[in-house]
Structure 1
Amino acid sequence: MVTVSPLYPLKFYPILKQKVWGGTKLNILLNKNAQGNVGESWEISGVEENISEIQNGPLKGKTLKWLLENYKEKLVGEKVYKDFGNQFPLLFKFIDAFQDLSVQVHPDDFLAKQQHNSFGKTEMWYILNVEKHGKLIVGFNQQMDEKKYLQALSENRIPEILNSLAIKKGDAFVLKPGTVHAIGAGVLLAEIQQTSDITYRIYDWDRPDTNGKMRELHTDLALKAINFNPTSSLLHYSESKNSPTHIGTTKFFTMNKLVLSKNCLRDLEEISSFTVYMCLEGSAIIETDDFSEEIKMGETVLIPAQLPELKFITNSASFLEVYIP
């Protein structure tokens, strides 16, 4: 074990992803240094070949993998480290859909382990910005079974059976594995998910990729993953100010919203994991006993598990707060 310095609120360099459906909002609204059609900003990632690198403080330049190997439960918490070891369990993103994303589905833990030796993909979405007519696709618009689905697929009628939802800023959704879904054009959102990059594409609007080729569909794998039962994805919550508002919980993570109009002391003693804050609006100085860091709209910060409390210094800021229950 090498000698390591005390932990503090950690910011990481965004990992920007060019996408055929990507736009310019990550640059214009969230101040990412994004050139071209950037669809995703991976804020904190432990995905192989996409490991986040620290951009602030004494540990600048170190990777998330290095952090886990050297700080272990001090970074993520005892239970999380016992369950996941040196694999960071969650992936945090901002997503800008200039065009419709492909219609897709994700496997659960069992299928992902069996097929890819990977985690499954449970995710939550929080809507940051939506243009007129912006929508999400979540599930089917009718009672569906495998036979009806395969018939629609063979007749190229997938769009006809999809459930389209009108949305607004502040809406939040949970997407369980097996839920057919797509982000519609004109939507900017935050996504929190299990650490997985496994996606089964079932329909891609007959659209070529950035190289002019049609992207692969994963029909057979998707069929193993799809849940044909009706599912409810919209999360209902009543927002409060200057204390956390619970939005939703899965067995993998909890998501709250924290809207601040004044300075706030946030006690993290009862949270047994790391905590992540994604800044949705405004800005704040985050202070611990030994460190302070500014976080602005579009930025994300990881608070190590060993830090018992934070002070937010602000007169206007809002955050998603995420931790493992």
Structure 2
Amino acid sequence: MTAPGAASASGIELRHLRAFAAVARRRSFTQAAEELLITQPALSRTVAQLEAALGVRLLERSSRHVALTDTGSEFLVHVERALAAFDTALAAARHEATLRLGFSWLLPDPWAQRAIARFERATGAQVELVRCDDPLDALDREGVDVALVRGGRPLGPAVRTVHLYDEQRVAVRAREDATKASESAADALRWRDAREWTLVVNTASGTTGPWCWPDGDGPRRYVETANFDEWLESVAAGRGLGIVPDVAERRIHHPALRFLPLTGAPPSPVRLAWRPEANTGSTLLRRFLDAALDATATCNDAGQA
């Protein structure tokens, strides 16, 4: 029988050890939370759970600094050994490890190729590319580990994101559009004329929709579609105008479509999104985010992003 107040390791998990080690190494809950890709309150709870399970205080906290107790210093030595052994075991199996990247259409180039190559060279793991109509839904269902998300739509508090870069928007319409003569005749469009458009919207993963005009200044008519292919063919069928990042103009070759310049449009952000609670302490996710940001910097330096 365990005596009252005695420590029990039954509730201690690997995430507790990683959380404690990160705080001890950084001497900061804020910096440790950024490293672990979780919120600071969640990190504080995790460390508190560890201390409660052990029945000892590992860290001294104040408003200005974080310091190890004597017990914490001794415990850290063993924790780092344990984590190192665990990471070594992971490395031995890493040639079979995968990170699932969800996307809805047209991964950005050359960013995607560079990010994937950097990650796979650095880790020995592989990126599994998962095409899905709604990457955020796949993220919620844990069908992917990280999702590439375009557009500025709010994603909710349960999802963390990192901004990669911005894409410019262009307009696209059917080459033969007999229903909207004024739109068909235009050689360019202006964002400020949005109220006159009939806009085709991909509600699952589109970059341009009602959320882009929070003050109600957007198009008065919308045609909703459920995925990229439906959006593409609806525009080609003359159901209305489409607005899309300019990567589409380079990569989509559809004989029924014509791309037009769009002046005054705000840029469309490209982000990576993940769920922290599903990836606490995930080495592969951290390494992929590092590779993604490095690839972004390289593309920016070369003027390709």
Bin of the TM-score, shorter chain as denominator length: under 0.3
Q: Which has the larger radius of gyration?
A: 2
Structure showing the higher strand proportion among its residues? 1
TM-score where L is the length of structure 1: 0.23
